[in-house]
Chains A and B, each alone.
Chain A
Amino acid sequence: MKRLLLALFCLLSFSVYANEPTATTAEATDKEEFSPGEMILHHIGDSHEWHWFSTDNSHFTTYLPVIAFRPGQGLSVFSSRNLAEGKVYDGFKLEHEHLVSEDGSKVYDFSITKNVASLMLSAILLVAVFTAVARGYAKRGSGAPRGIQSFFEPIIVFIRDEVAKKSIGPKYERYMPYLLTVFFFIWFNNLMGLLPGSANLTGNISVTLTLALLTLLITLFSSNKNYWHHIFATPGVPKALLPIMIPVEVIGIIVKPFSLMVRLFANITAGHIVTLSFISLIFIFRNLGVAPVSLAFGLFINTLELMVAILQAYIFTLLTAMYIGGAVEEHHDADFQMGGGDGAEPAHAHGH
């Protein structure tokens, strides 16, 4: 796999060097106004309407409902078609995709935006897929899996054996529903974000914030005495140092989910920006020589994103499991290889 990527990269770099002269001459003749930054930010951001694509003279857009609440004036529900192209409706207008009222009063925006609509679609998809998988188990029991069930079984087993058991230890079963949900939610939404015209859900910091917050809450609520003892009276630390050590430990609690949030957001957003940048090169240079190169690069990054999609879902799930594992860890639980050092054996060797 690594060798293949390396070969692909070398191949693509060669074609870039070959095309460099044409690219620079094209730059000089470029006159049209095209702002790649604006286009990219529009693509990765949320919006009140779902813009699919545009042709030279028309746009293909699905207008989503706007649901807004103003204190004193109550709830307003209307189609975002009324706000399209900077129009004002019922005292509302859109300022850089941000719903504001004309007189500057406070607006609480509960609209079904593109991301919310995409979230609902993915929720329906996830429920449909996993009820089908669950039906397979209800019908066939522990017999050989069939159809869609046989595709998901190894993944579920992998999450259970390699992620949950190794990181959490004997109490892993209670956390399996959350770990599986978070894994498949992130994976499916990462993949859906790669479809043309789709929303960038997992590259939205509010979504990753919510996921990280859930991880934080689950970690805190499943923590045992031992976990808090390590934070407020770290063993082996002199009493005089505790005023410094307690803030350090508390920072550690907050930073763990924070790093989860930033990682997922940054990885997915960066992937989208790089792909869109390569596509933008075509419109910047308007040159036949550039198009195949930037298309090849864009395709390469997009293919890489397919791998990043599952890798980021895995990393989020694994680190969540490790944080939970740290919180439920018993005092001397060396048998279960907490935190999963290198070469950690499966915790339940006798189970096989």
Chain B
Amino acid sequence: MATDTPPHPTPDPDNTDRLRSFARYSGIGIQMLATIGLSTWAGYWLDGHYQTKTPWFTLGLMLLGLFAALYNVIRSVTKGS
């Protein structure tokens, strides 16, 4: 590890931690949105491709996306503790 670096003034730890949490949690939010959006879009595309009468792909992948989004949010929030 870098033990040979010269000492330097570190930024206010409280402030950078707040910025860090902000970036992290906003990332989790967008990830949740992207998960549901992407999987719904994939399902919609598959339904169009296979000309299904009932949109099973849209339904199924949307629910899977919802589950994946929630699972990932819960996991990334509990990971730190």
Contacts and interface: CB of A to CB of B under 8 A. Distances in A.
Interface in B54-81: 64-65, 67-68, 71-72, 76, 79-81
A352 B38 contact: no
Given A315-B27, A319-B27, A251 B3 contact: no
A154 B8 CA distance: 9
A262 B29 CA distance: 12
Contacts of A258: 34, 38
A342 B80 contact: yes
Contacts of B76: 339
Contacts, number: 87
Q: Is the interface of A mostly helix, strand, loop or mixed?
A: helix
Interface residues of A, number: 38
Contacts of A252: 35, 68, 72
Contacts of B17: 342-344
Interface in A228-284: 244, 247-248, 251-252, 254-256, 258-259, 262-263
B25 to A, nearest CB: 10
Interface residues of B, number: 35
Q: Is the interface of B mostly helix, strand, loop or mixed?
A: helix
Contact of B23 (A158, A247, A314, A341): A314
User: Which residue among A247, A248, A338 has the maximum number of chain B CB atoms within 10 Å of its CB?
Assistant: A248
Contact of A319 (B5, B23, B72): B23
Given A247-B64, A248-B71, A252-B68, A315 B34 contact: no
Contact of A248 (B1, B24, B26, B67): B67
B30 A259 contact: yes
Contacts of B2: 173, 348, 351
Contacts of B7: 352
Contact of B20 (A166, A170, A256, A262): A166
Given A314-B19, A319-B23, A254 B80 contact: no
Contacts of A341: 79-81
B52 interface: no
Contacts of A259: 27, 30-31, 33-34
A136 interface: no
Given A248-B71, A251-B39, A351-B2, A262 B10 contact: no
Contacts of A134: none
Interface in A148-180: 154, 157-158, 161-162, 166, 170, 173
A350 interface: yes
A263 B8 CA distance: 33
A161 B24 CA distance: 17
B16 interface: yes
Contact of A255 (B16, B21, B26, B35): B35
B24 A340 contact: yes
A322 interface: yes
A142 interface: yes
A15 B14 CA distance: 37
A83 interface: no
Nearest to B10: A161
Nearest to A338: B79
23 contacts: A162-B11, A162-B20, A173-B2, A244-B64, A247-B68, A248-B67, A248-B71, A252-B68, A255-B72, A256-B31, A258-B34, A259-B33, A262-B30, A263-B30, A315-B27, A318-B24, A339-B76, A339-B80, A340-B20, A340-B80, A341-B81, A342-B21, A348-B2
What 5 A-B pairs have minimum CB-CB distances, sorted nearest first?
A: A341-B80, A248-B68, A259-B30, A259-B34, A315-B23
Interface of A: 142, 154, 157-158, 161-162, 166, 170, 173, 244, 247-248, 251-252, 254-256, 258-259, 262-263, 314-315, 318-319, 322, 338-344, 346, 348, 350-352
Given A244-B64, A252-B35, A255-B72, 10 more contacts: A247-B64, A251-B38, A251-B65, A252-B68, A254-B38, A255-B31, A259-B33, A319-B23, A339-B79, A340-B80
